[in-house]
Structure 1
Amino acid sequence: MSTVFFITGAGSGIGRVLARELLLKGYRVFLTDYNNAFLEDTCVAHLPSVVSCDKHVNFQWVQMNVCDAEQITKAIAQCVQAFGSIDVLSQYMRAGVRMDQVPTSDFEKIISVNLIGTYRVSQAAIPYLEQSPGGGVIVNMSSCRATQQSKHGEAYAASKAGIEGLSMSMAVSLGPKIRVHVVSPGMVDVRCERNESLLPDVQTLRADLNRDFQSEYAPAWGAGKSDALSEAHPVGRIGRGEDIARWVEFLGVLEGGFTTGGTYLVDGGYSKVLSYPS
């Protein structure tokens, strides 16, 4: 039987691209997201339209909030009941106001979702990942913002840097039965991976700390982005969701079993460009 991926944040964005690409390659996928409308749109409308009918049995889904331990336990159990195992756990979990003007509760909420949520889901999945024949794999999602900053992103940066430290420790603690990796995306345009009709107004989006900071919608990849933005990347373009999906597949299935504890920066080389104000 094919590898089973359990994906958090699969209702939109990178998580949705990841689920689609894995299904197209024949893997089995269990999708979760706290936003049930986005998740249902992905699983009822989007995936059946792009995945062949014979592969529809390869995915299941359930709403899950990574801050709710009971929901996590139930989702893990449903995945195992549906597919018999979990082989790879892929976890994908804002900023703009100076930190002295942000309530500490907002900081704590972001940490709870991105960092503690990663910990919670990993805890629940460990017993099943240990039973995976080739060794279980956890692929956590960080961000270039763990090491590169713009103003007023303290909570997001702390949560992502925390994920990298947590993952290194997990790699040491959980080996040899489980390997742990981190993928750290740069600028990845996934605005088209949302159903526009499901989005609330922009102000509501900006106030919702459970959503990622890139809240606008575009009908196609790269729409409205400047040529200068692409040219600033050594590879000549900004990222696609598929770029991240390839790394998750590689680390989860193809890597070969001799890598763990690493963070892989997937940013088109942008972080390597020396840039001073003109």
Structure 2
Amino acid sequence: MSKIFFITGAGSGIGRVAARYLLQKGHRVFLTDYNSAFLDDTCTKHLPSVLTPELHANFKWSLMDTSNQSQVTEAVAKCAEEFGSIDVLINIQYVDSYQSQYMRAGIRMDEVPISDFEHVLQVNLIGTYRVSQQAIPHLVKAPGGGVIINLSSCRSTQQSKHGEAYAASKAGIEGLSMAMAVSLGPEIRVHVISPGMVDVRSERDESALPDVKTIREDLNRDFQSEYAPEWGYGKSCAMHEAHPVGRIGKGEDIARWIEFLSVSEGGFTTGGTYLVDGGYSKVLSYPS
């Protein structure tokens, strides 16, 4: 059955892959992102080029920063106006601690401005709450029950140095989602997908990336620092072999889980976290 999806962070990365995958499956999708260049490229160039013409009417989009209440309110209202409803909310937007110059420089947390920590939580955790708030009145009307899927990360439980903000935001999303599942049932089911290493470097407009100097110096940048022409480009065999399944992840690996939990799951799961990491987190590893 065709459903109406509202996706945050859909201008690039996993969000863009999920939007494309769902559209190809016959669903309708409303794409949002705070990066206007990436969102414009995805919606006016990429999707029209890969979808058959009859599917072009199945997607709409709106610029939306999840930390901006008025933009969130307007985007949700626009989706309901364009498509008549919202059946599934997918919260993918995120700011990664790796996007902080402080983390990249290995600066200890007591020397990092609190604003850096607050910015990550504002987008990742509070943004998830904010968008969910606005979507709930529409989701409760969805035939068969509404669905919210929040993306966490394996980094909610596995850490590297100086990732405090990202870890806190993603662990917070898992706790928030459990509470939402209890509070919003039975009208709405809530799930968490926790990806591992997923290579989506090719899922963005290369021309929209700033120069390397800007990337390295801008503390509030909204771009990752690398681009690849195709999945897996430049990744070592050892990196693939470190995963029990034999490879790192693809965006489609997450997109399939999104559709399964939204459409095929059957209505008897809620509040769970689904780790999609190729088994990497189960490998015991000590320094050699």
TM-score, scaled to structure 1 = 0.97
Instruction: Provide the C-alpha distance between the structure 2 equivalents of 1:68 and 1:126, rounded to a whole number of angstroms.
Output: 18
Instruction: Tell me if structure 2 keeps the 8 A contact 1:8–1:90.
Output: yes
1:167 to 160, 168, 177: 177
Equivalent residues in 2 for 1:73-92 (5 A)?
Answer: 73-92=73-92
Instruction: Tell me if structure 2 keeps the 8 A contact 1:191–1:215.
Output: no
Instruction: Tell me if structure 2 keeps the 8 A contact 1:67–1:113.
Output: yes
Instruction: Provide the C-alpha distance between the structure 1 equivalents of 2:210 and 2:68, rounded to a whole number of angstroms.
Output: 24
Partner of 2:222 in structure 1? Answer: 211
Instruction: Provide the C-alpha distance between the structure 1 equivalents of 2:221 and 2:167, rounded to a whole number of angstroms.
Output: 15
Matched to 1:199, the amino acid is L
Moved more, 17-26 or 92-101: 92-101
> CA-atom RMSD, angstroms?
1.2
Instruction: Provide the C-alpha distance between the structure 2 equivalents of 1:158 and 1:89, rounded to a whole number of angstroms.
Output: 22
Gap regions ≥5 residues in structure 1: none
Q: Secondary structure at the match of 1:151?
A: coil
Matched to 1:118, the amino acid is T
Instruction: Tell me if structure 1 keeps the 8 A contact 2:88–2:139.
Output: yes
Equivalent residues in 2 for 1:124-163 (5 A)?
Answer: 124-163=134-173
Partner of 2:194 in structure 1? Answer: 184
1:116 to 122, 126, 129: 126
Instruction: Tell me if structure 1 keeps the 8 A contact 2:35–2:222.
Output: no
1:210 deviates by: 5.8
Instruction: Provide the C-alpha distance between the structure 2 equivalents of 1:145 and 1:203, rounded to a whole number of angstroms.
Output: 27
**What's the % identity of the aligned pairs?**
72
Matched to 1:72, the amino acid is V
2:210 to 185, 200, 209: 200
Instruction: Provide the C-alpha distance between the structure 1 equivalents of 2:13 and 2:278, rounded to a whole number of angstroms.
Output: 18
TM-score, scaled to structure 2 = 0.94
Q: Secondary structure at the match of 1:180?
A: strand
Matched to 2:232, the amino acid is G
Give the paired residue count.
277
Instruction: Provide the C-alpha distance between the structure 2 equivalents of 1:205 and 1:171, rounded to a whole number of angstroms.
Output: 38
1:215 deviates by: 3.1
Instruction: Provide the C-alpha distance between the structure 2 equivalents of 1:264 and 1:202, rounded to a whole number of angstroms.
Output: 35
Moved more, 111-120 or 214-223: 214-223
Q: Secondary structure at the match of 1:194?
A: coil
